[in-house]
Chain A
Amino acid sequence: MTMGEHDITFDAMGSHVRLLIGEPGPGMDPAPAAAERAREFIVAFDAALSRFKPDSELSALNADPRECVPASELLRAAVKAGLAAAERSGGLVDPTLADEIESAGYVASRAGVPGAPLGVALGEAPPRHPASPNPAARWRRFEVDDEAGTIFRPPGVRFDTGGTGKGLAADLVAAQLRGYSRLIVDCGGDIRIGGADALVHPYEVHVEHPLTGECAHVLRLGTGGVATSGLNVRIWRDADGRYAHHLLDPATGEPAWTGLVGATALGDTAVEAETLSKAALLSGPKGGREVLAERGGFLIHDSGRIEAVGPLSVGRLRVRIPDIPVAGSRG
Chain B
Amino acid sequence: MTERARARRPSSALVLWGSVALFAVLFALLTYQLSAASAPAPQSVLVRKVIKRRVVTTVVPTPGASTVTSGPVTTSSASAVSAAGAAPVTTSAS
Contact = CB atoms under 8 A, between A and B. Distances in A.
B92 A202 contact: no
A64 interface: no
Interface of B: 44-62, 65, 67-77, 79-81, 84, 86, 88-94
For B48, B49, B91, the residue with the greatest tally of chain A CB atoms inside 10 Å of its CB is B91
Nearest to B73: A216
A217 B49 contact: no
B68 A307 contact: yes
A125 B55 CA distance: 42
Contacts of A227: 91
Contacts of B68: 305-308, 313
B58 A317 contact: yes
Nearest to B90: A206
Nearest to A201: B80
Nearest to A228: B91
B61 A220 contact: no
Contact of B51 (A211, A232, A324): A324
A223 B91 contact: no
Interface residues of A, number: 74
A2 B86 CA distance: 10
Interface of A: 1-3, 7, 14-16, 18, 20, 166, 184, 186, 188-191, 199, 202-212, 214-223, 226-234, 262, 264, 266, 303-308, 312-313, 315-321, 323-331
A236 B83 CA distance: 36
Given A220-B57, A234-B93, 15 more contacts: A14-B94, A16-B94, A206-B76, A208-B91, A208-B92, A210-B92, A215-B62, A218-B62, A218-B77, A228-B92, A306-B68, A306-B73, A313-B68, A321-B55, A323-B53
A268 to B, nearest CB: 11
Contacts, number: 190
Contacts of A186: 89-91
Decide if the interface of chain A is mainly helix, strand, loop or mixed: strand
Nearest to A221: B57
A115 B83 CA distance: 30
Nearest to A273: B91
Nearest to A312: B59
A217 B59 contact: yes
Contact of B69 (A191, A199, A305, A316): A305
A233 B79 CA distance: 25
A222 B89 CA distance: 13
Given A1-B84, A217-B61, A307-B68, A209 B73 contact: yes
Given A1-B81, A315-B58, A331-B47, A215 B67 contact: no
